[in-house]
Amino acid sequence: MTAFDVARVREDFPILSREINGHPLVYLDSANTSHKPVQVLDVMRTYWERHNANVSRSVHTLGTESTTAYEDARAKVATFIGARSPDEVVFTKNSTEAINLVAHSLGASVGPGDEVVISEMEHHSNIVPWQLLCERTGATLRWFGITDDGLLDESGLAELINERTRIVSLVHMSNILGTINDVSRIIARAHEVGAQVLLDCSQSVPHLPLDVVELGADLIAFTGHKMLGPTGIGVLWARADLLREMPPFLGGGSMIETVTMERTTYAAPPARFEAGTPPIAEAVGLGAAVDYLSAIGMREIHEHEIELTGYALKTLAGIDGVRVYGPGTPDGRGGTVSFDVAGVHPHDVGQILDDLGVEVRVGHHCARPVCARFGVSSMTRASFYLYNTTAEIDALAAGVEQVKKVFS
Amino acid sequence: MTAFDVARVREDFPILSREINGHPLVYLDSANTSHKPVQVLDVMRTYWERHNANVSRSVHTLGTESTTAYEDARAKVATFIGARSPDEVVFTKNSTEAINLVAHSLGASVGPGDEVVISEMEHHSNIVPWQLLCERTGATLRWFGITDDGLLDESGLAELINERTRIVSLVHMSNILGTINDVSRIIARAHEVGAQVLLDCSQSVPHLPLDVVELGADLIAFTGHKMLGPTGIGVLWARADLLREMPPFLGGGSMIETVTMERTTYAAPPARFEAGTPPIAEAVGLGAAVDYLSAIGMREIHEHEIELTGYALKTLAGIDGVRVYGPGTPDGRGGTVSFDVAGVHPHDVGQILDDLGVEVRVGHHCARPVCARFGVSSMTRASFYLYNTTAEIDALAAGVEQVKKVFS
Amino acid sequence: MTDQLYQEIILDHYKHPHGRGLRDPYSGEAHHVNPTCGDEITVRVTDDLSDISYDGMGCSISQASASVLHELLKGKPIGEAAKIHEAFVELMQGRGQVEPDEEVLGDGIAFAGVARYPARVKCALLPWMAFKDAAARAGVEVTV
Amino acid sequence: MTDQLYQEIILDHYKHPHGRGLRDPYSGEAHHVNPTCGDEITVRVTDDLSDISYDGMGCSISQASASVLHELLKGKPIGEAAKIHEAFVELMQGRGQVEPDEEVLGDGIAFAGVARYPARVKCALLPWMAFKDAAARAGVEVTV
Ligand SMILES: Cc1ncc(COP(=O)(O)O)c(C=O)c1O
Ligand SMILES: Cc1ncc(COP(=O)(O)O)c(C=O)c1O
Q: Which residues contact A313 (CB under 8 A, 6 or more apart)?
A: A324, A328, A329, A330, A337
User: Which residue ranges in chain C fall short of pLDDT 70?
Assistant: 1, 144
Q: Which of C56, C96, C51 is nearest to C74 (CA)?
A: C51
Enumerate the residues of chain B whose CB falls inside 8 A of the CB of residue C119: 58-59, 63-64, 67
User: Which homologous superfamily does the CATH classification assign to the domain defined by B6-30+298-407?
Assistant: Aspartate Aminotransferase, domain 1 (3.90.1150.10)
Nearest chain B Cα distance for residue C128, angstroms? 18
CA of B207 to the centre of ligand 1 (A): 14
Q: Which ligand is nearest to the CA of B365?
A: 1
Residue A295: φ, ψ to 5° = -65, -40
The pLDDT, as a whole number, for residue A1 is 42
Nearest chain D Cα distance for residue A54, angstroms? 12
- Write the DSSP symbol of residue B330: S
On whether the CB atoms of residues C124 and C92 are closer than 8 A, the answer is yes
Do B347 and D38 lie within an 8 Å CB cutoff?
no
User: Which residue ranges in chain D fall short of pLDDT 70?
Assistant: 1, 144
Distance separating alpha carbons of residues C70 and C84, to the nearest angstrom = 12
For residue A77, is pLDDT > 60? yes
Torsion of CA A101, A102, A104, A108, to 10 degrees: 150
D37, D42, D63: best to mutate for the B interface, most B CBs within 10 A: D37
**Minimum-distance ligand 1 atom for the alpha carbon of B234:** 10
Q: Where are the domains of chain A?
A: 6-30+298-407, 41-295
* A6-30+298-407 matches A41-295 in fold: no
Digit-coded pLDDT (tens) for B232-275: 999 999 999 999 999 999 999 989 988 888 889 999 999 999 99
What is the full DSSP assignment across B10-31? HHT-GGGG-EETTEE-EE-BTT
The pLDDT, as a whole number, for residue B138 is 97
The pLDDT, as a whole number, for residue C95 is 86
Instruction: Confirm or reject: Cβ of A172 under 6 Å from ligand 2.
Output: no
B366 is an active site residue: yes
On whether the CB atoms of residues B231 and B225 are closer than 8 A, the answer is yes
Q: Which of A228, A212, A216, A268 is nearest to A245 (CA)?
A: A268
Do D38 and B363 lie within an 8 Å CB cutoff?
yes
Nearest chain D Cα distance for residue A257, angstroms? 5
D15-53 b/e with 16+ CB inside 10 Å = b? eebbeeeeeeebbbbbebbbbbbbbbbbbbbbeebebbb
Q: Which of B238, B235, B333 is nearest to B289 (CA)?
A: B235
Digit-coded pLDDT (tens) for B380-393: 999 999 999 999 99
The pLDDT, as a whole number, for residue B1 is 42
Digit-coded pLDDT (tens) for A14-47: 999 999 999 999 999 999 999 999 999 999 999 9
Give me the amino acid identity at D29.
E
Q: Which of D6, D57, D117 sits opposite B406 (nearest CB)?
A: D6
Whether A23 contacts chain C with CB within 8 A: no
Q: Which ligand is nearest to the CA of B223?
A: 1
Question: Would you give the end-to-end CA distance of chain A in angstroms?
Answer: 47
Do A407 and C60 lie within an 8 Å CB cutoff?
yes
Give bridge partners of residue B117 from the DSSP assignment: B142, B168
Enumerate the residues of chain B whose CB falls inside 8 A of the CB of residue A21: 61
The pLDDT, as a whole number, for residue D118 is 84
Radius of gyration over every alpha carbon of chain C, rounded to an integer in angstroms: 14
Q: Which of B93, B102, B104, B77 is nearest to B294 (CA)?
A: B77
CA of A122 to the centre of ligand 2 (A): 10
Residue A96: pLDDT band by 50, 70, 90 thresholds? Answer: very high
Mean pLDDT, residues A61-83: 97
For residue A63, is pLDDT > 70? yes
Strand-by-strand arrangement of the C28-33 sheet: C28-33, C40-45, C52-57
Enumerate the residues of chain D whose CB falls inside 8 A of the CB of residue B364: 37-38
Residue A57: φ, ψ to 5° = -130, -15
The residues in B 341-360 lying below 8 A from A, measured between CB atoms, are 347, 350-351, 353-354, 359-360
pTM: 0.95
The pLDDT, as a whole number, for residue A236 is 98
Residue B383: φ, ψ to 5° = -135, 145
Residue B49, exposed/middle/buried by CB under 10 A (0-12, 13-18, 19+)? middle
Digit-coded pLDDT (tens) for A215-238: 999 999 999 999 999 999 999 999
CA quadruple A101, A106, A112, A117: dihedral sign: negative
Give me the amino acid identity at B398.
A
The pLDDT, as a whole number, for residue D1 is 60
Closest Cα in chain A to C2: A355
Region of poorest pLDDT, from A308-312, A365-369, B177-181: A365-369
Angle at the Cα of A238 (from A232 to A240), degrees rounded to 5?
Answer: 125
On whether the CB atoms of residues A377 and C37 are closer than 8 A, the answer is yes
Radius of gyration over every alpha carbon of chain B, rounded to an integer in angstroms: 22
Enumerate the residues of chain D whose CB falls inside 8 A of the CB of residue A56: 36
Distance separating alpha carbons of residues D127 and C109, to the nearest angstrom = 79
Pairing of strands A196-200, A219-223: parallel
Digit-coded pLDDT (tens) for C63-72: 999 999 999 9
What is the predicted ipTM?
A: 0.93
Of the options 3.40.640.10, 3.30.360.10, 3.40.225.10, 1.10.1760.20, the CATH number for the domain spanning B41-295: 3.40.640.10
Digit-coded pLDDT (tens) for A115-162: 999 999 999 999 999 999 999 999 999 999 999 999 999 999 999 999
What is the full DSSP assignment across chain C? -TTTTS-HHHHHHHHS-SSBB--S--SEEEEEE-TTT--EEEEEE-TTSS-EEEEEE--HHHHHHHHHHHHHHTT--HHHHHHHHHHHHHHHTTTT-PPP-HHHHGGGGGGGGGGG-HHHHHHHHHHHHHHHHHHHHTT-----
The pLDDT, as a whole number, for residue C1 is 60
Element housing B372 (H / E): helix B368-373
Instruction: Confirm or reject: Cβ of B205 under 6 Å from ligand 1.
Output: no
D36, D62, D93, D126: best to mutate for the A interface, most A CBs within 10 A: D36
